[in-house]
A = this chain, B = another copy of it.
């Protein structure tokens, strides 16, 4: 770990302490206004904090101003946190009116842990610590705000009582809070669900079900273009397409190890003959069966299989959201079956593809080495020795690639091996995990995948898992919001909108249409019997990259007047020049 990482980590920890402190402050204020409320738990989260309460009278966002005001007043008096360890009896006495805290105390006892109480100002809470030591000095009273109230079950279990969760946003400074709020507002405007509907890219149907997007012709064009681009990059590196079904007998996952580790998330099917099948939640086990079907010589290695196909996971319906979380996930998946001495070259080839692909959209990439969590080894396949070897290899590859700064992702590995994850920031400044390369010694072992080496011996091989987009659905949700629906020319479902002003201009418009169509440019001729303003508004609303209005002037000059969505009026241009310009921009993916 290098110094940058250390500082980053310190900063993150301090922010978490600040947020957790504010959760205490929220509880203190709430209990002043509603003394018979039972407070339960209040952790720090990604963008702030929350606290869950059992209110006797309902609370709403209308109450936020006075709670916030009281929090700021109390903050001035919160000069220092103190804490003490107490006996079970003392703890029981202190929280005797709060059944939630009593339950938490029992949980602590049963885990054999110590009971600690933390106090600041006049407020004491059952807590394990993790606060800002001197809140009044160290917390900017305008660096936080309450954001919303929502229902939440006690201990997250829907069989338990429903509580009220008050969420707060909190950052190190007032400026950071304001920037976050502004970014959230912008993100709301750019919500891919909203833009997807406006532009008619995908739809959901109540009859088909939540989490199962149906792709319209326009949306399918974008999906196919993205996928074709990945395929073009892969083909140059020697990849070949394969094709597999979406189901399998459970025996495949018993051999791979998924059945024992992953069974809950599998969609299962029992046939009328009582055979048990599962829908595939990933493609690797199927792909091993293509590799394993015929013996391989070292001369045939590596084998690089790729396939864009849907996988299915039994997601909880409450977690489904737009394209970000779906039941039917389209993966642009690939698996390289190679010898150990080919790992480096193959991983660099994938890395090249990822670099080229993401650069096209203006994404800069950071690296995370996602390792296993040695304290929870039961979550993984294989032995500690195999994991060490694979993780060392990835680290060496990161170093050879000349990467000096990377994020250490302890516990972020896949079931079967460590990963190099690629992290980016979108145009709103949000951090996103995108592509991933995974190194896997375990599936080749479980499926006994080998090749015959130069000496005629059977040699165990390794697998590299490497999706470029990962899930096309999730990647598209990112792209839509990143571009705010203004897709670059090469991706836009409609690239040019041709608008004849009057009926007499239609013939010339049709000529231009035919010229562009011949070159496979996606052009829309808007010859509806409507006024010009309406047609122009339609093209602008649809964020069509180029608009061409055709009237007398254009016909006289045998030229067209070109307007760019991104650069405004570009003046008159001859039809053949137009064609050249568009084809060049599309080819260059500008």
Contacts and interface: CB of A to CB of B under 8 A. Distances in A.
Nearest to A304: B217
A293 to B, nearest CB: 4
Interface residues of A, number: 60
Nearest to A294: B200
Given A251-B207, A289-B203, A328 B269 contact: no
Nearest to A271: B314
A279 B243 CA distance: 18
A223 interface: yes
Nearest to A293: B203
Contacts of A249: 207-209
Contacts of A213: 245
Contact of A289 (B207, B242, B247, B292): B207
Interface string A243-255: 1111111011001
A122 interface: no
A249 B267 CA distance: 13
Contact of A293 (B214, B255, B268): B214
B528 A244 contact: no
A312 interface: yes
Nearest to A280: B208
B272 A269 contact: no
Copy tally for this chain in the complex stands at 2
Nearest to A208: B248
Nearest to A256: B207
Given A206-B251, A243-B223, A248-B207, A290 B216 contact: yes
B221 A241 contact: yes
A385 interface: no
Contacts of A207: 248-249, 251-252, 255, 285, 289
A443 interface: no
A46 interface: no
Contacts of A216: 242, 290, 293
Interface string A422-456: 00000000000000000000000000000000000
Given A269-B268, A314-B271, A214 B244 contact: yes
Interface in A190-233: 200, 203, 205-209, 212-217, 219-221, 223-224
A242 B220 contact: yes
Closest 5 CB pairs of A and B: A245-B328, A217-B240, A203-B293, A215-B243, A205-B289
16 contacts: A200-B293, A203-B290, A205-B292, A207-B248, A207-B285, A209-B248, A209-B249, A209-B251, A212-B247, A215-B243, A220-B242, A246-B279, A246-B310, A267-B277, A273-B316, A299-B528
